[in-house]
Amino acid sequence: MPKMKTKSSAKKRFKLTGTGKIKRKHAFKSHILTKKSKKRKLKLTHDGLVHKSDEGNILQQLTLK
């Protein structure tokens, strides 16, 4: 059987932390920023973590499961 290929879209969007959690970027930070408050834009700048219920699907796309 051939090797499993990693989904390149998932490879670009997610990173694994040292403890095994999955980091992701926040959405809504690319354009139409004038109506968003400074506080909101600052919070969107920081990375978030993927929810536990979605971790399995992402690990499968990264062929780590």
Q: Is beta strand 15-16 parallel, antiparallel or unpaired with respect to 48-49?
A: unpaired
Q: What is the mean pLDDT of residues 10-18?
A: 96
Comparing CA positions, the residue from 3, 47, 54 lying closest to residue 27 is: 47
Percent of the chain clearing pLDDT 90 (strictly above): 91
Q: What is the mean pLDDT of residues 16-36?
A: 97
Distance CA 64, CA 57 (A): 10
Q: What is the pLDDT of residue 34?
A: 98
Does an H or E element contain 24, and which?
strand 22-24
Domains of the chain: 8-61 (4.10.410.60)
Q: What is the pLDDT of residue 52?
A: 96
> Given pLDDT bands bounded at 50, 70 and 90, which one contains residue 65?
confident
Q: What is the pLDDT of residue 36?
A: 98
> Would you say residue 18 has pLDDT above 90?
yes
